[in-house]
Structure 1
């Protein structure tokens, strides 16, 4: 039996090849649609696989959780990913379920690192506990994981950093110095971090050194429950559930700081850290789900093209099938024949798709912000590719093969065979699904564009136009002198400074007190030190009171934004006592709310204070016309005080746009996906229109002889397809409304889902569909009727 299989399948392939060559037009249409669908589907699914793989490479990932704080009152209550320093060690000490703890925080003490005559600025340096090397799978290629930091001035660096600092020289034992004249000895080299790691760094210093620095400021980190500056990870004993640990950690915290009753601890699983918040809400998972659906929609559209053309042209092959049946072909043999035909077409499409994926991968990475690599040895990548191709092949081949192998041979030979109403309805349903999917993607693109446009043009509560900023570093003590020089330049309209960037104010503090504070009330606020011109520079409005005056009295004055005043419940705040950290002072002004972060979150409480000696970021407003000259002047001034540093600046407009980089990428990808969906759908529509025109060739000729006009014939051929497109739009609108409504809920400040979006998407689809159909319709309508009447 098996000896007959090889000749049989050889015959199948030979017949399939001849049929593909005989119908080149339809074969090319099918191949183009399938190739395009596979390329987009594979790229999206590789993107999805990468997103879902984050942090999964750690062997203990299932037992590791990041500790997060759900703290504050009212609108200020939100999830903070940074906690106080003592909570990790206390959790390990007091909770038997905790096997290990780890704290990490940024090194804000140094920003320039030198080795001999080389200097490097702004390396991603962090302080950490040594348990990082036993809890996570960041393997040391040099050094000891058991003792990564032999002393407080040890440093572990990545392989990439070692190459940058030392070239091909051995890294162990080398000494790196900082601008603060501290020396660090390289005690280990860690393998470069995987791209799908949420935790990223270039250099690691011991947490013991951080504690020493705070002790110099007379603050013991082991008992400091006011500074929320640390990422804390807990490794639970294997198999232990985290349920109930949050409330017990709350009790540990309250024993040390009883007034923080509004602060709740949450445990976020390590393998969910990239896509979810600690309360289970979305932090990217929704986007991954949407992209998976998009991939399936585009693959479905490509499959529908093949199924529609195969079933539509089934009547033309009915006699072929009937003759095969009469000479003894079984139904299963015919079924296999048509499956092989589909497989052969898929083979060509799959090869083209894989080659195309390899070629467009750099462009896809540029658009998506990924660094995916087309590695032929990557089994996971091939799993995605082969599963995509295999599933699409099965979906496309089964129904056409069943239909073509089921004809009644006698009826077919007598030309009395007709496609059933059910088959015709099925084909029409597929066309409706195609265009409904395309309309959903077009609506998604338009909504994302509207939301990004809304963000760009929304009144932020401050003016960021023509402003660039940079870290002052050693220029800080000479700030007033530098400010005076810059204000003397023609192109400079204003100069100010602060501790953090106004785009994202960063740090938080829970050590606050005021007149009328309720018992056990927790108030978490974003503090920022500013100079006296900060509010006028950014054209920010004061709701009450006054700003800073530049006098010594400013050191005990505070300004809060409207949200902060509302949350602490002060009716008449001006003149009321307020304490932040160890500074007792008075509220002198209330700043109108402004956006200092992503519009995905509500405006949070903000606190402004005056401490000139810690101002670190300078802002310069230019006229716009002399920006280049102003930047050069600022660089020259910067280098007078920072000879070892490279000058690095950023315009606020650019920094603001970076907050929405992922949304920008989503919008760009959606645009391309929608365009490809329309192109693939129109390829199928074009072929179906050509086939419908071919079937009605004689009818068109007769109608023209009897006086039918060209517009009338075009309308006759187009109306059936237009009805299907309109039905697709009607189905797509409620689905797209629901999907984009869910997406918009991720923004605290968002545009509305205006009806014009749906009208525009529908009109775009109808115009493109009409243009596709009309090409064939016009071609048939202007043809010489004599030619059609002479056929057959």
Structure 2
């Protein structure tokens, strides 16, 4: 019996090839997009789950509120780890990890920079994280000073083989040789930090360091099974309070009386990637908002494809009504008819799913490029993909075919055979509701896409308070013995306007918070940048009051330039010049005098407001050389700069970037998500139009005789096209009225995440609505014009 259902269903589908093709393509497209988004979401949600004990691994975070400003850190004070291990029975162990800065290894005669993937760690890191060693002993690998564990790919990079135990790596930064004591498997991409090198700490960590002095150490804790998280946090904060009270470097009572506080909290390691955006993160994290958005898009697009199927199936009700009537007269029960129509739906869904898998596989490289992912379909993927696809086929097949099955099988034979079944588009209330829902989703996505595009365009063109164009940045300058010499030689080159030595750039990640006391007042949290006398002019910044630094004034060694926000927060207003600002504690107090106020410039993402910033004249040991250039003859200038570099640093790698590209990198995630959103929106509209095209075809077919009569009576093609299109266009207009306010509310909330944003323009909403109507009208008109242009004699003859 079951075989007969599918056999009959297959014959019916082949008989109606146009209907079958539209349904399969629509469903395949929807399922392919859904699969790609599922790969993306699954990847985002799987971060750090490679750790066998991931459910028991937590990171300790620090919240510091000082002078009304709350700062959230991904690091802790040094004593925290020791307290966790010695005072908290819920804890199995705790480990401290910190990035190693300015790391350069020697590879033959070449010096290779390995910042970002090199970390100092305590020996017990292998007890917390799952980092399998291919060779070496995890218990002793990092116990001795000047030892290192490297990733397998790094072993091949530096030694062209994996077995390198006992070999040495020369660390140029410190001039020491590191003994390789272990080779570990490359860490998975799905990790909130990627370590290619784990270095032993240079010396034992002083666990008696002050509790109020945050260091660069990220502290991770491995809890015992069934540990009480809330109780542990309370105990840990109590220990911190006791430590702060006994501190010799701060007045804790005065600190608390001002409404200030330190607070420690535990964050599951699996939450870090999507839910943490704190200062001093070990790596670049994702954004849970995009996971929610794309999950919703996947569901919406799949719904669009299902709605297409339901609409087209019910639209064909007239052409299949006689079939149902005859079947019922011949003894078929409603149950058998329902199974028959569900079988057709399942066949279409299955074929669409197979096509979708191959389409997703073919589109995966493009999707990886757009999303900056490394997604692959492999044997491990198949373990969940095949069951998931089977479930989708059944769920979507039943969902998409349920209404047509129950609708068609409910026809009464006597009404069908008498021709009393309503035909055409009119009278299909449920079908009209689905069209409205379908285009509401499409218009919602169009408005969202336009808002995202406008915001990204606004970011690209906003006046940031500095000129990021035509600025070349040379990296690795801090490796030179005399970086000032390089600066002076490059400034002599034709085409070089100015140059500055510092790592504190508006587009860089090097941000340093400090606490300053303006005029002896309570400390204020500020950005504290070390720059040279050429910085402000090279960056194209503007001085509002006073002057910038100058080598002609010896007193500038104790001078300070502040931004407008700092002048306002410090209470100086327009009278900041000459004011005194202190830094440090009583033991190392240093006094600065303000010589200038620079106009506010955005030195962080436009997600954040400009905060107080102070700049002092000082050398920066992590300095990079920023060069403002004339790009009229860029190739010759770049050749000259590289030649100068090779003359001064023949063994150092010449590495550079342009500031405008670095600025774009700050918003690369938004740009990638924007591109994907545009593509998905376009595909959603295509799916909706595909269904509308099919509906228009059946509406025209069912009104074939009416069209013929109207033409005989003198109706024009334009009048007939209008008649066939107006009902559909009316539904699209209703969709706009529903989608517009919802899209405005949703996108307005998304824009709240930007401190500097472009308000939603009225024309964006109108353009989306008008575009949807035009697209729908064009889609419908293609079929309507064809029906209107047909010979009425043929249509009337067929009707007879």
Residue 67 of structure 1 pairs with residue 60 of structure 2: yes
- In structure 1, the partner of 2:465 is 461
The one of 152, 164, 169 equivalent to 2:157 is: 164
2-structure distance, mates of 1:629, 1:301: 55
CA distance in 2, matches of 1:613, 1:783: 80
Matched, 1:766 2:773: yes
| Shift in CA distance, 600/221, structure 1 to aligned 2, threshold 3 Å | farther
Per the TM alignment, residue 717 of structure 1 is displaced from its structure 2 partner at its CA by 0.5
Comparing 394-403 with 611-620, greater Cα deviation is found at 611-620
Counterpart pick for 2:592 among 582, 586, 595? 586
Q: Deviations over 1:247-277 (max 9, x none)?
A: 4365155233445634433332212111113
Structure 1 CA distance, aligned partners of 2:605 and 2:432?
A: 45
Shift of 1:593: 2.0
C-alpha spacing 1:250/1:722, structure 2 compared with 1 (3 Å):
farther
TM-aligned CA distance change 1:718 to 1:120, over 3 Å: same
1:613, distance to aligned residue in structure 2 (A): 6.2
Compute the displacement of 1:744 (Å).
Answer: 1.3
Q: How far 1:590 moved relative to its partner? A: 2.9
Q: Within 1, Cα distance between the matches of 2:65 and 2:570?
A: 10
SS at match of 1:195: coil
Rounded Cα–Cα distance in structure 1 between residues aligned with 2:669 and 2:68: 25
Matched-pair contact (CA < 8 Å) for 2:149–2:199: yes
Aligned CA distance change for structure 1 residues 714 and 299 (closer, same or farther; 3 Å) = same
Matched with 1:293 is: 296
TM-score, with structure 2 as normaliser: 0.91
In 1: Cα distance, 2:358 partner to 2:61 partner: 45
Shift of 1:473: 3.2
The Cα shift of 1:72 comes to 4.5
Within the candidate set 553, 560, 584, 2:555 is matched to 553
* Aligned partner of residue 123 in structure 2, secondary structure: coil
Displacement of 1:509: 3.7
The question of whether the paired residues in 1 share the 8 Å contact of 2:54 and 2:269 is answered with: yes
Give the C-alpha shift of residue 583 in structure 1. 6.0
- Structure 1: segments with no counterpart, 5+ residues: 1-7
Contact 1:440 1:733 in 2 (8 A): yes
Does residue 275 (structure 1) correspond to residue 260 (structure 2)? The answer is no
Match of 1:327 among 315, 320, 330: 330
More displaced stretch, 144-153 vs 665-674: 144-153
1:351 maps to 354
State the alpha-carbon separation in 2 of the partners of residues 387 and 74 from structure 1. Answer: 56
Alignment of 1:134 with 2:140, yes or no, is no
Report if aligned partners of 2:446, 2:681 keep a CA contact under 8 Å in 1: yes
Separation of aligned partners in 1, 2:677 and 2:709: 46
* Aligned positions, number: 772
TM-score normalised by length of structure 1: 0.92
Residue 181 of structure 1, aligned match among 156, 175, 178: 175
Match of residue 488, structure 2, among 481, 484, 490: 484
For residue 614 of structure 1, the aligned residue among 608, 618, 621 is 621
User: Does the 8 Å CA contact 1:87/1:253 hold for their aligned counterparts?
Assistant: no
1:256-405 matched pairs, under 5 angstroms: 256=247, 257-258=250-251, 261-277=260-276, 284-378=287-381, 379-405=383-409
User: What does residue 785 of structure 1 align with?
Assistant: 792
User: What is aligned with 1:238?
Assistant: 225
Match of 2:209 among 204, 222, 226: 222
Q: Report 1:517-528 matches (<5 A).
A: 517-518=521-522, 521=523, 523-528=524-529
The alpha-carbon distance between structure 1 residues 122 and 45, as it changes in their structure 2 partners (threshold 3 A), is: same
* In 2: Cα distance, 1:221 partner to 1:479 partner: 37
Question: SS where residue 103 of structure 1 aligns?
Answer: strand
- Compute the RMSD of aligned alpha carbons: 2.5
**Cα drift, residue 16 of structure 1:** 1.5
User: How big is the shift at 1:441?
Assistant: 0.9
Matched-pair contact (CA < 8 Å) for 1:68–1:81: yes
SS of 2:229's equivalent?
coil
**Partners of 2:663 and 2:389 in 1: how far apart?**
37
Distance 1:755 1:357 in 2: 37
User: 2:106 corresponds to which residue?
Assistant: 114
Q: Secondary structure of the equivalent of 1:614?
A: coil
Contact 2:60 2:76 (C-alpha < 8 Å) held by counterparts? yes
1:248 paired to 2:235: no
Task: Decide whether aligned partners of structure 1 residues 457 and 672 sit closer, same or farther in structure 2, where only a CA change above 3 A counts.
Answer: same
Q: For 1:740 and 1:491, how far apart are their aligned partners in 2?
A: 45
Question: Are the structure 2 counterparts of residues 594 and 166 from structure 1 closer, same or farther at C-alpha, using a change threshold of 3 Å?
Answer: same
1:4 corresponding residue in structure 2: none
- Where structure 2 has 5 or more consecutive residues not aligned to the other structure, the ranges are 279-284
Residue number in structure 1 paired with 2:435: 431
Alignment pair present for 1:202 and 2:204: no
**Contact 2:477/2:483 (CA < 8 Å) preserved in 1?**
no
Q: Which of 722, 725, 729 does residue 718 from structure 1 map onto?
A: 725
Displacement after TM superposition at 1:722 (Å): 0.2
Q: CA deviation at 1:173?
A: 0.9
Distance 1:247 1:85 in 2: 14
- Secondary structure (helix, strand or coil) at the match of 2:549 reads coil
**Segment drifting more, 417-426 vs 309-318:** 417-426
